[in-house]
């Protein structure tokens, strides 16, 4: 899973780069508009190590932001699943806040929290949280009638059991959503760094953009792509292992 993720990313990256180079050489553009291969390699030689550290810095905030988002999404999703009013209220709120551009909300966040770690964490969580919440709410609010009916009829239904049944029956969906939300959390952290932080890959991209240095941006994108592929690969592998454990009862065989 992990290696597949990485080589899939490499294929996409190489295709994108080939298209750019085809345009460059086809239209006879200078290195200022689209950098040539030599310039990209030179830039990678100079910047790649630093950019990897920057991405790791960004990733540390991303992981934390995603964990907070998952916890919050499950907490609110489980609470909001019963009441139709509360559920619909949370959904409307989530849709509305998602619609606000984060660049418009960012100044308020920076005034309240400064432009350090907390602002990055909050923006990463915000961008990642709402899509997760909507998925979790959707899953938790949909009864699995065939199974739940038995426990309700026998009077053994508790809220923990209800949550377990719905999570178990939608495990594929949940693991996909959680793995997918990693990219959202990463994007959120990069946006926050781009707007106001003084560290992380978003901040480095901002500097490269100030200097119209596309070679630096391509190297930064490569670093982000590799690390997010590894992170997503790990999440998916963990998801697969969880599924295997859940589906195979203790001491029994996997069907």
Partner 1 sequence: MNQKINTIAVIRAGVMVLCMTLFCALPPAFAGDTLNYRLKWLFNTSVVGDIIADTGGFFKKAGLDVSVNEGGAGKNAIKELELGYADFGVASADQVIRALEKGADVVVLAQLFQVNPMQWIYRSDQSEIKTLSDLKGRHIGVTFGGNDETIMNTLLAKAGLTSKDVRISSVRFDFTPFLKKEVDVWPVYRNSQGVILEERLAAEGEQVKFFNPANYGVSFVANSVVTSGAMMKKHPDTVKTFMTALLSAWEFAVDPANEAQVLAQIKKKDNGTRDDIRQKQLEATRPLIKPDPGTKIGVIDARAWRQTENIMVREKQIVTPVDVINCLVGPKKRKMP
- Applying CB under 8 A, the residues found at the interface with partner 1 are 18-19, 22-23, 26-27, 29-33, 35, 39, 107, 110-111, 115, 195-196, 198, 203, 206-213
Residue 68 CB, nearest approach to partner 1 (Å): 24
Residue 84 CB, nearest approach to partner 1 (Å): 41
Whichever of 104 and 153 has its CB closer to partner 1, that residue is 104
Whichever of 22 and 49 has its CB closer to partner 1, that residue is 22
- Per residue, what are the HEC states of the chain? CHHHHHHHHHHHHHHHHHHHHHHHHHHCCCCCCCCCHHHHHHHHHHHHHHHHHHHHHHHHHHHHHHHHHHHHHHHHHHHHCCCHHHHHHHHHHHHHHHHCCHHHHHHHHHHHHCCCHHHHHHHHHHHHHHHHHHHHHHHHCCCCHHHHHHHHHCCCCCHHHHHHHHHHHCHHHHHHHHHHHHHHHHHHHHHHHHHCCCCCHHHHHHHHHHCCCHHHHHHHHHHHHHHHHHHHHHHHHHHHHHHHHHHCCCCCCCC
Whichever of 22 and 86 has its CB closer to partner 1, that residue is 22
Residue 217 CB, nearest approach to partner 1 (Å): 11
Whichever of 160 and 211 has its CB closer to partner 1, that residue is 211
Residue 212 CB, nearest approach to partner 1 (Å): 6
């Amino acid at each position: 899973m992990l290696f597949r993720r990485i080589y899939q990313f490499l294929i996409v990256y190489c295709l994108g780069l080939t298209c750019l180079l085809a345009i460059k050489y086809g239209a006879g553009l200078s290195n200022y508009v689209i950098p040539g291969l030599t310039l990209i390699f030179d830039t990678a030689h100079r910047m790649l190590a630093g950019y990897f550290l920057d991405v790791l810095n960004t990733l540390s905030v991303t992981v934390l932001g995603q964990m907070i988002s998952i916890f919050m999404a499950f907490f609110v999703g489980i609470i909001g699943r019963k009441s139709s009013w509360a559920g619909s209220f949370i959904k409307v709120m989530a849709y509305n806040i998602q619609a606000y551009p984060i660049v418009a909300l960012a100044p308020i966040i920076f005034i309240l929290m400064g432009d350090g770690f907390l602002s990055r964490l909050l923006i990463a969580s915000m961008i990642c949280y709402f899509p997760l919440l909507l998925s979790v709410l959707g899953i938790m609010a949909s009864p699995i009638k065939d199974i739940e009916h038995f426990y309700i009829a026998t009077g053994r239904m508790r809220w923990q059991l209800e949550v377990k049944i719905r999570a178990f029956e939608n495990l594929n969906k949940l693991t996909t959503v959680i793995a997918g939300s990693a990219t959202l959390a990463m994007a959120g952290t990069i946006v926050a760094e781009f707007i106001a932080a003084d560290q992380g890959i978003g901040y480095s991209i901002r500097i490269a953009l100030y200097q119209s240095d596309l070679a630096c941006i391509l190297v930064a994108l490569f670093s982000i792509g590799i690390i997010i592929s590894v992170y997503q690969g790990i999440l998916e592998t963990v998801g697969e292992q969880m599924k295997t454990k859940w589906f195979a009862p203790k001491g029994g065989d996997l069907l």
